[in-house]
């Protein structure tokens, strides 16, 4: 009798789980019959080209393929070199899902999940620069290079009062633009700027960070059922260890798995 009670309880739990888990809205997430996923090479935390094959790899690629597997549809990876172009593609429904920073400006053009990864924004200056702390960047006469349409562009456009922003075509180009135009500061993904400081002589990172970036999944507006499914999907990917394992598999350091949501 005791064993029967446990069987009944287990069955009830399974029914409850099935009732609360949102169904997979394939018509909203893959209306063409395949999942079109925007992959941004402008953020090396999320995606990069494989050195041997040239194919996309990274945590955003892994999440896209896992989502496609669950939906039972093929995945088409649509690659971009800047976050600004990704946002435009989502807004115009040219892609079904994307991986972008949470920002109120972007939220006006798309639906977004809770974050799955947290990364840091940092500043890069010349070795002989008088700037020693993040708080010293926002001064008259300082020009700060950002990737056009990037999370750093959106954030610093609101926050900087005295320094002036200069737009590079993509986030990976900010350090080269800074050096070529003899500008004072470059802003971007901390890991990207660390690599640039090793690649380009005479540069150093300012200690710490000037912002924390919450990376989420996004999808076109009007697909609310898809957004609810993606929220559940992202929470499972975090709690199951999928995101942490993907970051480790691709050798990503300095990024943290976002805490559980509601």
pLDDT at residue 192, rounded to an integer: 87
Nearest to 46 by CA among 107, 97, 103, 105: 97
pTM of the model: 0.77
Q: What does the block give as tokens for 146? A: 């950002």
């499914």: which residue's tokens?
A: 229
Q: Are 129 and 137 in contact (CB under 8 A)?
A: no
Evaluate whether 217 touches 6 at the Cβ level (below 8 Å). no
| Digit-coded pLDDT (tens) for 226-259 | 999 999 999 999 999 999 999 999 998 778 999 9
Asked if 190 and 93 touch (Cβ cutoff 8 Å), the reply is: no
How many Å separate Cα 229 from the centre of its chain? 18
| SS3 (DSSP) at 187 | strand
List residues bridging with 172 in a β-sheet.
none
3-state secondary structure of 215: strand
CA 244 to the chain's CA centroid: 14
As a CATH number, domain 119-211 is 3.40.190.10
Q: Is 98 helix (H, G, I), strand (E, B) or coil?
A: strand
> What is the structure's pLDDT at 200?
95
Q: Return phi, psi of residue 87, to 5°.
A: -60, -40
DSSP state, residue 97: B
Task: Determine the pLDDT at residue 43.
Answer: 86
Residue 262 has a pLDDT of 62
**What is the CATH code for 2-117+215-257?**
3.40.190.10
Domain ranges of the chain: 2-117+215-257, 119-211
- What average pLDDT values come out for the chain (262 residues) when binned by 10 residues? 44 44 84 97 90 92 98 97 91 96 87 94 96 97 94 92 95 95 95 92 95 94 96 97 96 88 70
**CA 157/CA 185 separation, integer angstroms:** 15
> For residue 185, which of 161, 155, 169, 205 has the smallest C-alpha distance?
205
Q: Would the CATH topology of 2-117+215-257 be identical to that of 119-211?
A: yes
Least Cα distance to 80 among 100, 51, 110 occurs for: 100
Question: What pLDDT does 22 receive?
Answer: 61
> Is residue 204 a contact partner of residue 132, using CB atoms and an 8 Å limit?
no
Reduced to 3 states (helix: H, G, I; strand: E, B; else coil), residue 140 is coil
**Chain mean position to CA 88:** 15
């Amino acid at each position: 009798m005791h064993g029967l009670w446990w069987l009944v309880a287990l069955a009830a739990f399974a029914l409850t789980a099935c009732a609360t888990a949102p169904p997979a809205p394939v018509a909203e997430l893959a209306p063409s019959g395949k999942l079109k996923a925007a992959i941004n090479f402008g953020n090396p935390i999320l995606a990069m080209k494989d050195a041997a094959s040239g194919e996309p790899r990274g945590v955003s690629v892994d999440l896209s393929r896992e989502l496609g597997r669950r939906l039972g549809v093929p995945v088409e990876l649509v690659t971009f070199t800047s976050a600004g172009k990704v946002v435009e593609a989502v807004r115009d429904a040219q892609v079904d899902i994307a991986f972008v920073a949470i920002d109120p400006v972007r939220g006006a053009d798309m639906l977004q999940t809770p974050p799955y990864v947290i990364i840091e924004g940092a500043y890069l200056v010349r070795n002989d620069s008088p700037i020693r702390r993040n708080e010293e960047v926002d001064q008259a006469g300082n020009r700060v290079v950002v990737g056009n349409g990037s999370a750093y562009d959106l954030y610093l456009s609101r926050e900087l009062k005295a320094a002036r922003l200069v737009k590079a075509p993509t986030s990976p180009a900010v350090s080269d633009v800074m050096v070529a135009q003899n500008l004072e500061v470059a802003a971007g993904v901390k890991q990207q700027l660390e690599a640039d400081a090793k690649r380009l002589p005479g540069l150093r990172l300012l200690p710490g960070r000037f912002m924390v970036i919450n990376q989420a999944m996004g999808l076109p507006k009007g697909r609310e059922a898809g957004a609810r499914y993606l929220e559940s999907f992202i929470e499972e990917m975090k709690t199951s260890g999928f995101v942490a394992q993907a970051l480790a598999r691709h050798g990503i350091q300095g990024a943290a798995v976002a805490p559980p949501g509601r």
